[in-house]
Chain A
Amino acid sequence: MNGRAPQHGTRALHATGRLLSRYWTVLALVAAWGAWVRTQHLNQIVAPTPAAVFGDVLDNPGAYAPDLGWTLLNAAVGVALGMLLGLAGALLVWTSPVLSGLMTPMALIMRSVPVVAMIPVIARVVGFGTAAVLTITTVVSFFPVFVLAGSGLRAAPAATRDVFTVLAASGLTRLRLLLLPGAVPALLVALRLTAPTAVLAAMLAEYLLGTHGLGQLFARSVTFMDPARAWGTALVATVVSVLCFVGARAAERQGTARFT
């Protein structure tokens, strides 16, 4: 491994070994699922075989793509809105000592209130349909950004702040030079926390409220007794949510290295 370029075959073997040592549990899970379906002689309606599910996804990508796109769009717009509002709120609170009293209760809410469980309430208030789905994803991403960016801003060293005051920097200059670099790492952490959650929350809302998207595709497949499609939807959602997490984590690493 270290240094002298190993034989091509050995390197491939190493890579395979590393992959196996990390993902054997996931493979085992899929194998157990297959064995379970076969040994229990389960009806395909209850639980399809892994082969049927993977086959449905690979053979009919067109059946999933529009709904997947719609869900991702909802999640992305919601995350963007939530981050914007959260950052704006954090800036507002940062400028006012009275409003800063909001931080602690807000942080408590972020950590303790099951926002996703409030989907019915939100649907009632903003109306069923896409508006509710967007509201959910926005609210889900609002709290982490608000709290993390808020503490990021407060962590800006007082000495730096003084320098800027002495230089009589204008508000906009201060914002650009001091606050935003301080807030970017917080935004990236928030992105990692919320990106996978937003996708899952969007699906849950779509399922419950019956709008477009993967959640609706799942509900439809269950109703029309198409288990391979239903499980395929779950498979697609799982993969997408893992990819969102991996992507957001990579962005966080890049951004943190750049801004700190």
Chain B
Amino acid sequence: MATTGISESPPAAPAPPAPAALELRGVTKEFSLRRSRTVTALESVDLTVGHGEFVALLGPSGCGKSTVLRMVAGLEEPTYGEVLVEGGAPAHLVRRHRLGIAFQEHALLPWASAYDNIALPFRVAGRPVDAARVTELLELVGLEGFADARPRQLSGGMRQRVAIARALVLDPEVLLLDEPFGALDAVTRRRMNFELARIWADQRITTLLVTHDVDEAVLLADRVVVLTGRPGTVRHVEEITLPRPRDRALARNAEFHDIVDRLTALLDEGAE
């Protein structure tokens, strides 16, 4: 366990460091089933995400990676250990409407237009809708002409763009993405990866991405944390030093393929 060394605290630094953007300390999560039986989803997970860092949580389905994200969003409570966002409880950030989140199911409101869906966080926060900001995000995700379209009139990829725009509209301190492209076909998914890389380079928000797609994780993240097993534990942490901006040229980069192969092998071992 100790060899994983996710927290990067330098050994000789007496001054107390500023709180990390996200921090999980010894987090274990148990779910209670019926008849007082419990199942452990995560076992003593430590994880630190610095400000402006993009971390991908990579793992097979059922390893509890989504549970990590849900705890950071305040949707679940850890059974043991501690989840800190900007040094405080997640609920604190949520209450200030400073968290952006997007799920695999886009979860757009079916009765509202793309514009109104993106404007929703303003309304939920009780603030006047900043029309210029909403339009800016529509442009950022490449949906200028679709402000009035309703979700069912948009393609799967377009819906996910709206969902990401909604997550970004209030300029959140932390962005959480739970398999945001999981429901898309492979080609659209790759295109959306490059789109997200471009958008993220523009905004540089602290981001936690949950995915089971190795290419996606390596392509987007500064650091990939590999979770395996049931209960899920941190198996490996990979620093991705590939240069940014990352675009389609990456496909010809030998180092990229090298990392992907290594992480894929790790996942395969973990699956046994």
Contact = CB atoms under 8 A, between A and B. Distances in A.
Contacts of B32: 2
A2 B30 CA distance: 14
Nearest to B33: A2
B271 to A, nearest CB: 32
Nearest to A3: B36
Contacts of A2: 32, 36
Interface in B24-64: 32, 36
Interface string A1-45: 011100000000000000000000000000000000000000000
Nearest to B36: A3
Nearest to B37: A3
B190 to A, nearest CB: 39
A191 to B, nearest CB: 29
Nearest to A4: B36
Interface residues of A, number: 3
Contacts of A3: 36
Contacts of A4: 36
A254 B32 CA distance: 26
A82 to B, nearest CB: 39
A14 B32 CA distance: 20
A4 B36 CA distance: 8
Contacts of B36: 2-4
Nearest to B34: A2
A250 to B, nearest CB: 20
A2 B34 CA distance: 9
A89 to B, nearest CB: 39
Nearest to A1: B36
A14 to B, nearest CB: 15
Nearest to B35: A3
Interface string B201-222: 0000000000000000000000
A189 to B, nearest CB: 26
Interface string B4-41: 00000000000000000000000000001000100000
A53 to B, nearest CB: 42
B40 to A, nearest CB: 16
B79 to A, nearest CB: 13
A4 B35 CA distance: 10
B118 to A, nearest CB: 41
Nearest to A2: B36
B30 to A, nearest CB: 12
A4 B37 CA distance: 11
A4 B32 CA distance: 14
A107 to B, nearest CB: 28
A157 B36 CA distance: 39
A4 B38 CA distance: 13
A207 to B, nearest CB: 47
A238 B154 CA distance: 52
B33 to A, nearest CB: 10
B215 to A, nearest CB: 41
A105 to B, nearest CB: 33
A103 B36 CA distance: 49
B245 to A, nearest CB: 51
A2 B32 CA distance: 9
B39 to A, nearest CB: 14
Interface in B82-100: none
Interface string B244-272: 00000000000000000000000000000
A158 B140 CA distance: 50
Interface in A193-252: none
A122 to B, nearest CB: 45
A31 B213 CA distance: 62
A5 to B, nearest CB: 10
A2 B31 CA distance: 12
A3 B36 CA distance: 5
A149 to B, nearest CB: 34
A3 B32 CA distance: 10
B76 to A, nearest CB: 17
4 contacts: A2-B32, A2-B36, A3-B36, A4-B36
Shortest Cβ-Cβ A-B pairs, 4 listed? A3-B36, A2-B36, A2-B32, A4-B36
Interface of B: 32, 36
Interface of A: 2-4
